Amino acid sequence: MAIDTEHSVNWGSDKSRRSQRRRYASDRRLKFLGLGAIIIAIGVLAILLTTIVIGGSTAFTQTSVTVSFYLDQDLVSARRGYTRIVDNAVTELFPEIADAATLNAAEDILTDAADDILRDRVRADPGLIGQTVTMRIPVADPFDQLHKGVVSRDIPEDRRIVSDQQVQLFDQLIERGLVSKPFNWGLLFNIDSTNPEIAGLRGAIVGSFYLLLVTFLVSFPVGIAAAIYLEEFAPKNRWTGVIEVNINNLAAVPSIVFGLLGLAVLLNFFGMPRSAPLVGGLVLSLMTLPTMIIVTRVALKAVPPSIREGAYGIGASKHQVVMHHVLPLALPGILTGTIIGLAQALGETAPLLLIGMNAFVPGDPGGITDPATTLPTQILIWADSSERGFVARTSAGIMVLLGFLITMNAGAIYLRRRLERTW
């Protein structure tokens, strides 16, 4: 056998080595490009999370001043009486101040809503009237920012909201040990307010709960029924083909279009109440329906045919096979998918804007037809507010929202690990 010297390759030649080096270099290039892409993706996520956590962590404490209020019997029932009680308390706090202007400046250190806080306290416990109560009252937002170091004391007086005189008074309070920074439970348990120092997420959390309740009550049964029909009963014909295409397309329709549907049909035509969790829940259940149907079908598919055949074998009807055997076995998978679908619905914002769920609601909704906000729309409201304190609160609100999402997803993963069975 003669060797074809003309066409054989000399792997040791310079040319061959160069070519090999070039090819390996391009291989490494692609690898580094891939690695770079992953680093960019992870880096952006890391930057996002650190900005949110650093920005939001200050909102989890609230600068407060310990103040003693004398609840005068006459003042409690008088008009604007609580305002005067607060005024008196501030006067006592700074006994050396004589002129009214300085006193007014001192009063601005406490939150505007100090009288409301006091009134709520007395309403909860009328026995306090006539006594002196000592309470921690949140300071107004500019002082909160000052105390947390978000706003520097070095900024010239004409460029900050608080005057030098007020800073001096505030420093006096710090020296006397009256200023503290307790954990800000109000962030979770207060209702929304235009004053950042007392604004909280309670209304939004309750609103989101009602919203998810409606979404669950509508999309869970409808989604399961539709999935069972399509997976177990539907004949392969044009009609079911149309339904399948429809479900796939609905899953990809921009969420804002669902908002338009809700506005035109539910609000304008059926005259349902604006800003209500009922309407928001209905819109979101239409959006989660495709997800529900898809996850349920996957779970039904995973049940092995032997189960069905065994049930048929002992004389069960088709409905009995599905309802008594297949569905119970698929339920863990369906529940996992449902939680993930609801977590998606919890983060959804755009359609809720069009049905008015981003309106300021000072209170928490009592039912599914009351005006309400939700966690994401509350975050949007705070993000659009101009007060300095809302910047940190927006990040803190995002942390709360992400906390709920992580809990729901972790619950789904736990459920999957716990209940999933392999056949």
Residue 270 touching other proteins (CB under 8 A): yes
Q: Looking only at residues 373 through 412 of this chain, which bind other proteins when binding is defined by CB under 8 A?
A: 376-377, 379-380, 383, 391, 394-395, 398, 401-402, 405, 409
Calculate Rg over the CA atoms of the chain. Answer: 31
Q: Which residue has the tokens 């005024």?
A: 87
256 binds other proteins (CB under 8 A): yes
Q: Which residues of 70-84 are buried (b: 16+ CB within 10 A; e: fewer)?
A: ebbeebbeeeebbbe
Q: How many CB atoms lie within 10 A of CB 313?
A: 9
CA distance 36 to 287: 35
Residue 353 interacting with other proteins (CB under 8 A) = yes
252 binds other proteins (CB under 8 A): yes
* Residue 134 backbone phi and psi in degrees, to 5: -110, 120
Site size for other proteins, by CB under 8 A? 85
By the rule CB under 8 A, 179 interacts with other proteins? no
Paired sense of beta strands 179-180 and 64-70, if any = antiparallel
Residues 6+ apart with CB under 8 A from 83: 115
Indicate which single residue of 68, 73, 194, 248 sits in contact with other proteins (rule: CB under 8 A): 248
Residue in 186, 195, 117, 119 with CA at minimum distance from that of residue 360 = 195
Burial 34-49 (b: 16+ CB within 10 A, else e): eeeeeeeeeeeeeeee
Q: How far is CA 72 from the centre of its chain?
A: 42
Stretch that binds other proteins, among 57-65, 76-84, 103-111, 255-263 (CB under 8 A): 255-263
Long-range contacts of 165-168 (CB under 8 A, 24+ apart): 165/102, 165/105, 166/105, 166/106, 166/108, 166/109
260 binding other proteins? (CB under 8 A): yes
Q: Does 303 bind other proteins (CB under 8 A)?
A: no
Nearer to other proteins, 45 or 419 (CB): 45
CB of 40 to other proteins, least distance (A): 5
Residues 42-71 within binding reach of other proteins (CB under 8 A): 42, 44-45, 47-48, 51-52, 55
Residue from 53, 76, 167, 350 binding other proteins (CB under 8 A): 350
Note whether 294 binds other proteins by CB under 8 A. no
Residue 231 φ then ψ, to 5°:
-85, -40
Count of residues for the chain?
Answer: 423
Q: How far is the CB of 332 from other proteins (least distance, A)?
A: 20
CA distance 384 to 342: 26
**Contact flag: residue 292 with other proteins (CB under 8 A):** no
Q: Give min distance, CB of 31 to other proteins, in A.
A: 5
**Based on CB atoms, which residue is closest to other proteins, 138 or 277?**
277
Cα separation of the two ends of the chain: 59
Q: Write down the least CB distance from residue 155 to other proteins, Å.
A: 19
414 sits near other proteins (criterion: CB under 8 A): no
User: In the complex with other proteins, which residue's Cβ is closer, 215 or 358?
Assistant: 358
User: 193 to 232, contacts with other proteins by CB under 8 A?
Assistant: 221-223, 225-226, 228-230
The answer to whether residue 295 forms part of the interface with other proteins (CB under 8 A) is: no
Query: Exposure of 257 by Cβ count < 10 A (0-12 exposed, 13-18 middle, 19+ buried)?
Result: middle
Interaction between residue 26 and other proteins (CB under 8 A): yes
**Alpha-carbon distance 195 to 360, whole Å?**
12
State the minimum distance, in angstroms, from the CB of residue 198 to other proteins: 22
* By the rule CB under 8 A, 333 interacts with other proteins: no
Q: Is 241 in the site for other proteins (CB under 8 A)?
A: no
Locate 404 and state its tokens.
């709920």
Residue 152, number of CB atoms within 10 A of its CB: 9
Count Cα neighbours of 261 within 13 Å in the Cβ-side half-sphere. Answer: 14
Least distance in angstroms from the C-beta of 98 to other proteins: 45
Nearer to other proteins by Cβ, of 11 and 423: the residue is 11
Name which position in 31, 153, 176, 324 contacts other proteins (CB under 8 A): 31
Q: Is 347 in the site for other proteins (CB under 8 A)?
A: yes
